[in-house]
Structure 1
Amino acid sequence: MKRKAITVSVIAFLFVAAISNSDEHNPHRNTTVSNTNHFVLVHGSCFGAWSWFKLVRLLKSAGHTVTSIDLAASGINLLHAKDVQSFSDYSKPLMDFMESIPSHQRVVLVGHSSGGTVISQAMEHFPHKVSVGVFLCSVMPGPSFNSSAIAKMVMSRLAHELDNTFTYDKGLNSPPTAFIFGPKFLSQVVFQYSPHEDADLATVLVRPKPLVSVDGLVLTKAKFGSVRRVLICAEQDKIVTQDVIKEILLKNPPNKFFNIRNSDHMAMVSQPRQLFAHLLSISRDYS
């Protein structure tokens, strides 16, 4: 297992490095854009910074700064799922990055799926450094909205489907400690509208997600509530489904809402240009 984790990390590192290098030498890159933004991208469960590779290229080509975060035990982060004991451990890479940003600078935070909960913590702790929080195919939290209950419902509905698996590092009589999507689930439920090669890539690069509680996350109106929020959903998302979106819009309405057509849960892979256009619009409105 250790050798496999190292191999996956090396593949992910080389893949992301290749994308970054090819973008730097892109002859079509726009270097004259004056109203540029810094986009910080946070992946969802089992994925990593690599999952944003199509969007990163588009944003950089438009002259923007992009930072893709690998959360703990994800992507090329060197920790393993069993090393992550709390939500604070899991989100630490993002929190450390936000801490490093100068106080006068602001970023566009984008969280995909469960990454929405992670960016919410950053919005609570660093509201002055966030121009807008974008929740992509995510159960968007709120100061007076119990999003964790909905997230747990979504997880329980899908977790045991097809070939998804749990890890029980503390024994079978204790709650599971990690979770990972199986190849069939990825291709049939997560990437069903995406190119087959992207689903195949994901089966190689996904890593077990530490199952840590977010019940201790407190979001206040004074801090989290002061940051503008945008919700983007995918029309054919089989994970954060339309009924979930409707409940969020009713009980926890965002400042803006967008719907991506003909997209699965991985909107940044299946419809990167639609997502790119929405993010440019959002950044213009809230920069």
Structure 2
Amino acid sequence: MTQKHFVLVHGSSHGAWCWYKLKPLLESGGHKVTALDLSASGVNPKQLRDLRTLHDYTLPLMELMAALPNGEKVILVGHSFGGINIALAMENFPHKISVAVFLTAFMPDSVHPPSYILDQFNKCTPAETWLDTQFLSCGTPEDPLTSVVFGPQFMSKKLYQMCSPEDIALGGLLIRPSSYFTEDLPKVKKFTNEGYGSVKRVYIICSEDQAITLDFQRWLIENIGVVQAKEIKDADHMAMLSKPQQLCEYLLEIARDE
């Protein structure tokens, strides 16, 4: 197989570190893999208080896409809220992406603003689902921002319930406060068919996800459609940790189709 370039984009509160099992598996197949930290994530030096917009948060990905040589196309993989980040890259750099893979991720459409899918998610997600997660104000009245701080119960019961104790401990040590940018998302223009909509989309379903449930993952797929959907059985929200081998096999299959 011709070498492909995978770009891995983490979800809220996580960082490039969460791909530590998947990255060497893909590289052992002869592929190039870039796992990056979004702003105020992983080891990125920015703090959440420095951010206000989705674009601020996504800037490292946008800079990476802009720096790609002309003619190079990547396979963009977004996990969880990272689906919104890769959608922004798809809108701005559709000619640099061969396929976008949404891994149990929020996947916007091109009819509504990107805030629509989060609104729908919140409508069908009871408040008690969040357990000990904290939503705190870290902005100002003039420039508001709500932070999200995952609690240990939420992580172990909703995100990492099928992961090893070591991976749960790793996540607990490395996660950082994040945000869903609910104040900014309604201001973000809806994505276009000419940009975002022109990139092939594949969705990877995680059947045991307790955060973005199976029903909601299927609703996302029905809402806009994909060229292909694959399902990982017995995978929790953190499939790159709980089912890295199966995830790798699916990504290699997707790459072979390109």
In the superposition, the TM-score normalised over structure 1's length comes to: 0.83
Deviation at 1:177, TM superposition (A): 2.2
Counterpart of 2:106 (choices 136, 139, 146) is 139
The answer to whether 1:214 aligns with 2:214 is no
Contact 2:8 2:33 in 1 (8 A): yes
Equivalence for 1:200:
169
Equivalence for 1:187:
156
In structure 1, distance between residues paired with 2:249 and 2:25: 10
Deviation at 1:206, TM superposition (A): 0.4
Residues 60 and 249 (structure 1 numbering): CA distance in 2 closer, same or farther, change over 3 Å? Answer: same
Question: Mapping of 1:121-136 within 5 angstroms?
Answer: 121-136=88-103
Counterpart of 1:258 (choices 210, 216, 230) is 230
Residues 130 and 159 (structure 1 numbering): CA distance in 2 closer, same or farther, change over 3 Å? Answer: farther
The answer to whether 1:243 aligns with 2:215 is yes
In structure 2, distance between residues paired with 1:146 and 1:242: 23
Equivalence for 1:20:
none
Deviation at 1:36, TM superposition (A): 1.1
CA RMSD of aligned residues (A): 2.0
Deviation at 1:147, TM superposition (A): 5.4
Deviation at 1:251, TM superposition (A): 2.4
Equivalence for 1:56:
23
Equivalence for 2:244:
272
Which blocks of at least 5 consecutive residues in structure 2 are unaligned?
none
Equivalence for 1:177:
146
How big is each residue's C-alpha offset from its partner over 1:221-252, in whole Å with a ceiling of 9 and x where there is no partner? 11211110000110101111122122223221
- 236-245 vs 167-176, which deviates more? 167-176
Residues 174 and 221 (structure 1 numbering): CA distance in 2 closer, same or farther, change over 3 Å? Answer: closer
Equivalent position amino acid for 1:50 in 2 = W
Contact 1:69 1:93 in 2 (8 A): yes
Deviation at 1:159, TM superposition (A): 6.4
Which blocks of at least 5 consecutive residues in structure 1 are unaligned?
1-33
Contact 1:158 1:239 in 2 (8 A): no
Equivalent position amino acid for 1:268 in 2 = M
Structure scoring higher RCO (CA < 8 A, sep ≥ 6) equals 2
Equivalent position amino acid for 2:159 in 1 = V
Equivalent position amino acid for 2:79 in 1 = H
Contact 1:82 1:210 in 2 (8 A): no
Contact 1:70 1:93 in 2 (8 A): yes
Deviation at 1:151, TM superposition (A): 2.0
Equivalence for 1:31:
none
In structure 2, distance between residues paired with 1:120 and 1:274: 24
**Partner SS state of residue 128, structure 1:** helix
Question: Mapping of 1:96-107 within 5 angstroms?
Answer: 96-107=63-74
Contact 1:139 1:147 in 2 (8 A): no
How big is each residue's C-alpha offset from its partner over 1:10-58, in whole Å with a ceiling of 9 and x where there is no partner? xxxxxxxxxxxxxxxxxxxxxxxx5110000000010000011100010
In the superposition, the TM-score normalised over structure 2's length comes to: 0.92
- 96-105 vs 166-175, which deviates more? 166-175
Residues 69 and 146 (structure 1 numbering): CA distance in 2 closer, same or farther, change over 3 Å? Answer: same
Deviation at 1:174, TM superposition (A): 9.0
Question: Mapping of 1:22-41 within 5 angstroms?
Answer: 34-41=1-8
Deviation at 1:171, TM superposition (A): 6.3
Equivalent position amino acid for 1:104 in 2 = G
Q: Rg: which structure is higher?
A: 1
Identity %: 41
